[in-house]
Every structure is written in C-alpha cells, then in structure tokens.
C-alpha cells in the first residue's frame, strides 16, 4: 500500500509517494502553468511512473499548496504550513523553525518538538523576497535561476541593493550594470537583500534552532549562504527541499489512512545532507 502528497504551488507542482514504512518511492516536479488540475494530475502520474506504480496502488492522497482544492483525486487537503513543517521534521527531526521560500510567497513557521505549529508568518502580498524576485533578477542579468546563486558566491565586494520591490530592483540592477559593476557583486547584494527580508519574517515568529530551509529557493546556494551569514548560524537544507511540502502531505496521507492523528517521526530512509 502506498500514499501520495501533491503540492500544487503557484509556480511548481510537486508529488511525492511514500510506502507504508514512509520511505520515499517516487517524486515529480513540473511547472504549474495555467491548468492547475492538469498539473496536479500530471505530477501524480509522473511520480507513479517513477515508482513503477498504478493509481489503484495508492490508498490515500493529500493535496496541499495554493491549488490543493484542485487535486480532483485527493481524499483530503492540508495547508502548506502544516505540510512543510511535517516534511521538514521528517528529514531534520530537530527542526524548530522553518523558512519556506517559494515562487510567490515566503513563510516562517515555528514548531514545537512534537511538531505542533506554534506560530507562522507569511508574505504573499507581493513578489518582494520570493522566488519571483530572484527569477526577475536572473532574467535582467541574462542568467538562469540555477546560475545566479553560484555566481553571487564569487563576489568579494557585495553591493548594497536598496530595492526589494521586483519592479524597482530591475531598474536598480540595470543601472549598476550600465555603470560596469560586476554581476557577482550585484547578485550578492540581491541575495543579501532577500535574506534580510527573510530574517525579518522569521523574527516575527521567533527563531529557534534548528532552522530548516524549504521551497524551491532553498536550492539556490547563494540564498543558503546569505541567510546563514545574516543569521550567524548554519541552517538545514536537504536535496529534497523543494519536495518537503509534498512529502509532508504524503506523511499526512499515511496517518489519515491509518487513522492515527499522532505524528510518528521516522528518520533514516530519506537521503539527508546538511543536518547540523
């Protein structure tokens, strides 16, 4: 028997499949695009294909993310706050604070040692400080989203970027470029500005170690370094970080199907790096 989590985000849709021992057996990731229902179906099918399973092998599906009510095959919906917290604690059981930076919003979440959500704060009013802000910075500099983080890490003289608004930051970057400033110094400033905003959001909920960074932006090594620099401490990042919402949803699917509301944290089967 297997269990699925489908995380329909504003930018990407992720699916994760767990077996009854909560080991990850399949996952997928694709752009959400305009047809949210189709994205959910495709992500589910791709994860099934990766695992070599059929739809009837899945006992329970939990949808999460902004499009969680558009998962037509979902048995239940759980908020992304709960799912990211559950996914983060699955990989890093010592997690007390979660920073989730996705395509269009940023969340800070504080959890108790047993996984209860103690507080959360969310920036979803504008793109400032989210993946979209970094996507815009990459585009204006003629680089890919995968390139900007590593490039920023080569800077030895970061610029101070004053704008956190996506529209104005494009103008600010172009003005620095026209004055011949180095791409790495501009980008280090961009990453540092977002890290500053993220820290402010985390302080609203209180920052308890360990801090686990989730969401697509946690795949950017420049953001990880900028946050660690501002925080003055190491943070947890997993290679599965963009899937932790879907994995958390699949954890809820296991519990709901088994009728056990209490979280049973298990560690070990997932490939984990970067724990501190």
- Binding part of the chain for ligand ADP, among 9-17, 161-169, 173-181, 202-210 by CB under 6 A, reads 9-17
218 Cβ partners below 8 Å, 6+ apart?
99, 101, 224, 237, 241, 242
Residues 27-56, interacting with ligand ADP (CB under 6 A): none
Nearest approach in angstroms of CB 196 to ligand ADP is: 17
10 binds ligand ADP (CB under 6 A): yes
d(CA 195, CA 61): 34
Do residues 213 and 227 make contact, with C-beta atoms less than 8 angstroms apart? yes
Residues 132-191, interacting with ligand ADP (CB under 6 A): 132, 134-135, 145-146, 149
d(CA 2, CA 57): 6
- With CB under 6 A as the contact rule, the residue among 63, 103, 129, 248 that binds ligand ADP is 103
- Binding part of the chain for ligand ADP, among 3-11, 15-23, 39-47, 266-274 by CB under 6 A, reads 3-11
65 or 74, CB closer to ligand ADP? Answer: 65
d(CA 140, CA 116): 41
- With CB under 6 A as the contact rule, the residue among 9, 63, 129, 248 that binds ligand ADP is 9
- With CB under 6 A as the contact rule, the residue among 5, 131, 158, 189 that binds ligand ADP is 131
Q: Tokens at residue 12, please?
A: 């990407």
215 Rama sector, left if φ>0, alpha if ψ -120 to 50, beta otherwise: left
Do residues 16 and 270 make contact, with C-beta atoms less than 8 angstroms apart? no
| Binding residues vs ligand ADP (CB under 6 A) | 9-12, 65, 102-104, 131-132, 134-135, 145-146, 149, 215-217, 219-220, 242
């Amino acid at each position: 028997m297997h269990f699925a989590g489908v995380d329909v985000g504003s930018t990407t849709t992720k699916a994760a499949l767990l077996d009854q021992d909560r080991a990850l057996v399949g996952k997928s990731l694709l752009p959400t695009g305009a047809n949210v229902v189709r994205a959910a179906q495709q992500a589910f099918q791709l994860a099934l294909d990766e695992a070599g399973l059929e739809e009837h092998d899945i006992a329970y599906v939990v949808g999460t993310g902004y499009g969680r009510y558009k998962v037509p095959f979902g048995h239940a919906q759980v908020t992304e706050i709960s799912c990211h917290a559950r996914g983060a604690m699955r990989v890093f059981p010592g997690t007390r604070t979660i920073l989730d930076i996705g395509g269009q919003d940023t969340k800070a979440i504080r959890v108790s040692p047993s996984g209860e959500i103690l507080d959360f704060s969310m920036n979803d009013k504008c793109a400032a400080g989210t993946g979209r802000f970094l996507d815009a910075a990459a585009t204006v500099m003629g680089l890919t989203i995968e390139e900007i983080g590593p490039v920023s890490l080569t800077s030895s003289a970061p610029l101070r970027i004053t704008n956190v608004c996506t529209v104005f930051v494009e103008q600010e970057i172009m003005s620095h470029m026209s004055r011949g400033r180095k791409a790495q110094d501009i980008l280090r400033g961009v990453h540092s500005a977002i890290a500053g905003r993220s820290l402010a959001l985390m302080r609203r909920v209180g920052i308890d170690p360990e801090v686990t960074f989730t969401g697509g932006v946690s795949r950017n090594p420049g953001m990880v370094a900028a946050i660690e620099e501002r925080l003055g401490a190491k943070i947890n990042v997993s290679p599965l970080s963009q899937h932790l919402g879907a994995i958390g949803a699949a954890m809820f699917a296991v519990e709901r199907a088994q009728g056990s509301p209490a979280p049973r944290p298990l560690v070990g089967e997932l490939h984990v790096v970067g724990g501190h």
